[in-house]
Amino acid sequence: MDRNIRYTCNVCESNDLREIIDLGEHPNADNFLKKEDLSKKEVFYPLIVDRCNKCGHMQNRIKVKSEDRYSKIEYSYTSDNSAVSQNHFKELAEYAIKECFLTKESFVIEPGSNIGTLIESIKEISKCKVLGIDPSPNVSNLANKRGINTKCSFFNQKSINEFKNVDLIIGCNVLNHMDNPNEIFSVSNHCLKKDGSIIVEVPCGDELINNCYFDTIYHEHVNYFNKYSLAILGAKWGYELIKVTLVDYMGGSLRAVFKKKGGNIVHKKKLNINYNFLKEEKINAFRTRTFYFKEKLSKELYSINSTGKSKIFCLGAATKGNTLLNYLNLNSQIIEGIGDTMPLKHNKYTPGSRIRIFDENYVLKNATHIYILPWNLIDLISSKIKKYNIEIINISP
């Protein structure tokens, strides 16, 4: 047995797993490189997704140490990176306050709190006590500098030992990153009040398949949940999934509210979840669309590049763009650079593909052709390109 392979489902522990897609070898997608890192060798791991035939949960086959993913690098994602995410966190904060009746007496902990955008909103509106927990030294520092009390650690029993009587544990885009998603529930059992709640938001695995969001697959995204696998996971630890809704965030996310049921295991038979398993044809169509997209976009980029007069740039150095770039084996010989509005990313290089990131204005002034990496936002982003004499390469999966 290879210790680096997941042989059983992270949720229901079945070993009845089946490959959904193999995207080749990739480094960690969030590990943007500084210039001095370019002389070092990057580690690549196979990026393969398996699906559990029992509960429909999907997960990456290969384990990548979480220390390598978060603690050892200067993590570049900050949760305030766009107006869309800021609005989303505000809306989620209002939802959580209403759903859990939070007041100024309440206590809320957020694992994977990043720079604290979500708990800051919760604190501002409800005046309650908040604590963020994040394993990345640079983002937890930023959070504390912003006045959001944040502990630099993974969310585990040791890190929450001193905290009791917590009303709500809330995690947005966190459970999907966890090597062992059971941990959020087992750890919460030690600090939540008897009637406490857990709210999680995770990208929906079924939406990934239906909309061909293959580029949201990367080593940091260990788990791709559906509402049935979420319910099973909570039930194992005595939590009832009382509400689950599909929200319009990150291409479709599941927002799930769990209530602690006095520590009693909720039996699977009692799970009142109306869930239809994805059909085989949908999974096959996803695979075909992804392969076809690779062929079509590669062909177009090489053809434009062969004229010798073009300068192809990309826009939007989002993490998911790295899956796309590495899956298509692109590098700086084809793509001159990537434009991004986030200063934290400027002059860094994309992992694997090693393409330099520039200020967006530089790219708009120098490009002849642009490919928009967050291709699902093409309408929004292409509006700012219109006034320049730039051709937009409009190919999406």
- List residues near Zn ion by CB under 5 A: 9, 11-12, 14, 52, 54-55, 57
Q: How far is the CB of 17 from Zn ion (least distance, A)?
A: 8
Contact 167, 106 (CB under 8 A): yes
Q: How far is the CB of 228 from Zn ion (least distance, A)?
A: 9
3-class secondary-structure state, position 256: strand
Name the residue nearer to Zn ion (CB basis): 51 or 320. 51
15 burial via Cβ count (<10 Å: 0-12, 13-18, 19+): exposed
Name the residue nearer to Zn ion (CB basis): 54 or 289. 54
Q: Where are the alpha helices (H) located in 100-153, listed in sequence order? A: 117-126, 137-145
Closest C-alpha to 26, from 316, 350, 333: 350
Name the residue nearer to Zn ion (CB basis): 52 or 199. 52
Q: Where are the alpha helices (H) located in the chain, listed in sequence order? A: 66, 83-99, 117-126, 137-145, 157-160, 182-191, 205-211, 227-236, 280-305, 319-327, 360-366, 378-382
Q: How far is the CB of 320 from Zn ion (least distance, A)?
A: 25
Q: How far is the CB of 276 from Zn ion (least distance, A)?
A: 16
Name the residue nearer to Zn ion (CB basis): 14 or 87. 14
Q: How far is the CB of 225 from Zn ion (least distance, A)?
A: 10
CA distances from 391 to 90, 312, 326, 341, 371 (A): 36, 9, 23, 20, 9
3-class secondary-structure state, position 95: helix
Q: How far is the CB of 16 from Zn ion (least distance, A)?
A: 8
Q: How far is the CB of 18 from Zn ion (least distance, A)?
A: 11
Name the residue nearer to Zn ion (CB basis): 17 or 100. 17
Name the residue nearer to Zn ion (CB basis): 185 or 371. 185
Pairing of strands 312-315, 369-372: parallel
Closest C-alpha to 112, from 156, 171, 192: 171
Q: Which residues pair with 51 in a beta bridge?
A: 18, 58
Name the residue nearer to Zn ion (CB basis): 54 or 346. 54
